[in-house]
Chain A
Amino acid sequence: MFSPDLVDALDGSDALAKRRRAAADRAAAAGQPSFTEEVWRYTPIDDLDPAQYGFAAPGGTAGPVGLLSGVDDGAAAVVHIANGEVLDVSVRADGVRVDTLGSGAEDLIGTVVPEGPDVFGDWNLALASAPVAVSIDPKAVLTAPVVVHVHTDVEGLAWFPRLVVMAGRTSQATVIEHHTGGNTPALICPLTELSVGDGAHLGHVTVQELGETAWQIANLCADAGRDANLRIGHVAMGGDYARARIGIDMTGRGGHSEIDAVYFGCGTSTLDFRTFQTHVAPHTTSDLLFKGAVDDYARAVYTGLIRIEADASHVQADQTNRNLKLSPNAWAESVPNLEIENSDVQCSHASSIGPVDADQRFYLESRGVPTDVAEALVVRGFFDEVLDALPSEQISASVRRRIDELVSDADFTAAL
């Protein structure tokens, strides 16, 4: 897709340059993925034409605040990255460090995933021009979030944002990653690594509000240590094709994780989610709730795997995906999977795809609520539990307002 020689122009240590070259060679050998591969099933990956995009790091200016309005005020640290370049790093609290290339980020890249987890992950390691590492000191308790803004507004740009979050032992912190974009075609392939130390509590929220012509192929890879508590939130509102592959490895006994996602597809966008809840250690739990709506001609795909390895006894893992179909031309698919190699576990999965519930609408109508208002109330109500679960109240509130705006003028009756 890209030339491995591009790595030669990038900054970083010699050790990193070697890893970049190996990753680039691996990725180049793997070639371009196809929807005939299971992991790209239901996706428009065959429409990807790398020749449309050029790899560069032109930088630029910060993007709009969007759904993060007010969140930077009082944040523990704020980082602005745009079009392949770190613009600005501002650390305002004790207990947190932010590193870039040259100040130590290179040593942290690959902590959770030394390679992959797919060809875009390898390209990310090869071509991450502006990696950022956020380290929370052991025992530090951050009362305000660390915010990383990632903006793309250069037409035809392909680039690879890399964020590594190291949550030290028994630390407590929330990191918010915000992806914005102009209304120009671009290919953005972020990879985020979350390393959650023993006993640490880490919250991480991705807020994706890209423009309607952007392609995003994102990876989030997390490793939860002993007695760690990891809460991941994912908000997906934009993009022409926006994929998020989220993998959590429960490697420390007693660890707990939650993944809560909210998505709302409009226009002709395709939102694609792949989740992996992998339980390696015994006495671990994971809970996943993905709730989304598709309107207009939008599509949503959810594929999730709970995998329990042989040594992971006493595990509880749950997975729920619910989709609301708000227009006759919208489409959603949901494919939950279980792979269990230990009998002493409790797992569940559930999924649904359907229009606004007719009984709920009739109940509200029978009180005198007009049809369109009843449907808007049901759609808002549908998102309530997952919004409440996001690990940032500020983001829950702003996403709730955005959904209110999206449903207040819509007419969903045609979806029935």
Chain B
Amino acid sequence: MSAPTADAAHTLRIEGLHASAGDTEILQGVDLEVSSGRVHAVMGPNGSGKSTLAHVVMGRPGYEVTAGSVTLDGVDVLSLAPWERAQAGLFLAMQHPTEVPGVSAAQALAEALALRAGDDGPSDDQLERTRSLLEAEAAAVGLKAELVARPLNADMSGGEKKRNETVQLAVLQPRIAILDEIDSGLDIDALRACANRIEALTEAGLGVLAITHFTRVLEYLRPDEVHVIVDGRIVDSGGPELAEALEADGYTPYLPEEPDAGVAVSIGGLGSTPAAGTGASAPDDPFADPWADPLDELG
């Protein structure tokens, strides 16, 4: 596991991915490919499986992969522990970053970076350098240095946590980053600051899989490709113009309100109807409140 380099191209490939939480199948055959320097947006309504996709790729406990594969440069990601996936170059910026009492970002990231450098635990010097990097990156996204020195995510607002995720992303410099609703809870200035930082990283070779509910963040992240996920499948893919269409029409055209609509966009196989109780509730207007923090799909 060598350090990621800007010049080599890396590819995260998701093929036919099926995954369940408990008895509920949430992902029902996802295909996606993200390469260095490319920004892919995955958009979908509540309960479509967006966050599950992010969690399953990173290996969060509580999900079972029932079919399909995920590889990074041909390496089977699904057989790796979450930390090995991170060491291989994956990063997940979480929708709801967990508070870790008594553990600072510097302590955690110094452990990760020392391991990547082949060292057995960070030296004082590596800890100090990690601290400096965190402070510099915090300044770049307008997060107070005092906040990045705190125990991880302790007493931070939603927006501060998202900036903190961006800060850690920038310090770790992964190959492929999955951003799970990085825009939720961020005001417009913070969103711009985080997106600018991520865009600079993509120019240096970072591949991005940005999961989002709203098109707003895409004005700043500027995706190369946009995918629409409904009921655990990618039902449409296209260029940035697809996001504009979503802005105008919402997800309604993709939702199987009328049985015929499902056939028109080839959502599923024969007899495919949305399962009741999967969390795919009746479509509310996702643009009604752009400041809302969408509920976690499993919530």
Chain A residues packing against B (C-beta within 8 Å): 358-360, 362-371, 373-374, 377-378, 380-385
Q: Which chain B residue lies CB-closest to A383?
A: B102
Whether A366 lies near B151 (C-beta < 8 A) is no
* A363 contact from B98, B115, B116, Cβ within 8 A: B98
A409 to chain B, nearest CB (A): 12
Whether A384 lies near B151 (C-beta < 8 A) is yes
B87 lies within 8 A of chain A by Cβ: yes
Q: Which chain B residue lies CB-closest to A366?
A: B92
User: Could you list 13 A-B pairs, sorted by A, with CB under 8 Å?
Assistant: A362-B60, A362-B98, A363-B98, A366-B82, A366-B92, A367-B91, A368-B86, A368-B87, A368-B116, A374-B83, A378-B100, A384-B102, A384-B151
Within 8 A of A (CB), among B103-128: 103, 107-109, 111-113, 115-116, 121
Q: Using Cβ atoms and an 8 Å threshold, which residues of chain B touch A383?
A: 102
Whether B107 lies near A368 (C-beta < 8 A) is no
When A and B form their complex, which 10 residue pairs have the shortest distance between CB atoms, in order from nearest?
A: A381-B102, A384-B102, A368-B112, A368-B86, A363-B98, A365-B82, A381-B103, A365-B83, A359-B98, A360-B100
Q: Given A363-B97, A370-B81, list of 10 further CB < 8 A pairs? A: A359-B98, A362-B60, A363-B100, A364-B108, A366-B91, A367-B86, A369-B83, A374-B108, A381-B103, A381-B151
The binding surface of chain A is classed by DSSP as: helix
A45 to chain B, nearest CB (A): 35
B172 lies within 8 A of chain A by Cβ: yes
Whether B102 lies near A380 (C-beta < 8 A) is yes
* B100 contact from A364, A368, A370, A373, Cβ within 8 A: A364
A358 vs B61: C-alpha distance in the bound complex, in angstroms? 8
A85 to chain B, nearest CB (A): 42
B43 lies within 8 A of chain A by Cβ: no
Whether B102 lies near A385 (C-beta < 8 A) is yes
Which one of A377, A383, A384 has the greatest number of beta carbons of chain B within 10 Å? A377
Which one of B91, B99, B111, B152 has the greatest number of beta carbons of chain A within 10 Å? B111
B271 lies within 8 A of chain A by Cβ: no
A197 to chain B, nearest CB (A): 35
Contact pattern, B 77-100, Cβ under 8 Å of A = 1, otherwise 0: 000011100110001101001111
B231 to chain A, nearest CB (A): 26
A211 vs B168: C-alpha distance in the bound complex, in angstroms? 44
Whether A377 lies near B58 (C-beta < 8 A) is no
A378 vs B101: C-alpha distance in the bound complex, in angstroms? 7
A374 vs B61: C-alpha distance in the bound complex, in angstroms? 15
Contact pattern, B 48-71, Cβ under 8 Å of A = 1, otherwise 0: 000000000011110000000000
Q: Assuming A366-B58, A378-B103, is B111 touching A360 (CB within 8 A)?
A: no
Q: Using Cβ atoms and an 8 Å threshold, which residues of chain A touch B103?
A: 360, 364, 377-378, 380-381
Q: Using Cβ atoms and an 8 Å threshold, which residues of chain B touch A382?
A: 101-102
Q: Which chain A residue lies CB-closest to B116?
A: A368
Whether A367 lies near B101 (C-beta < 8 A) is no
Whether A367 lies near B172 (C-beta < 8 A) is yes
Q: Using Cβ atoms and an 8 Å threshold, which residues of chain A touch B82?
A: 362, 365-366
Q: Which chain B residue lies CB-closest to A359?
A: B98
Whether A371 lies near B81 (C-beta < 8 A) is yes
Whether A366 lies near B101 (C-beta < 8 A) is no
Q: Which chain A residue lies CB-closest to B105?
A: A367
A331 vs B102: C-alpha distance in the bound complex, in angstroms? 24
Whether B61 lies near A367 (C-beta < 8 A) is no
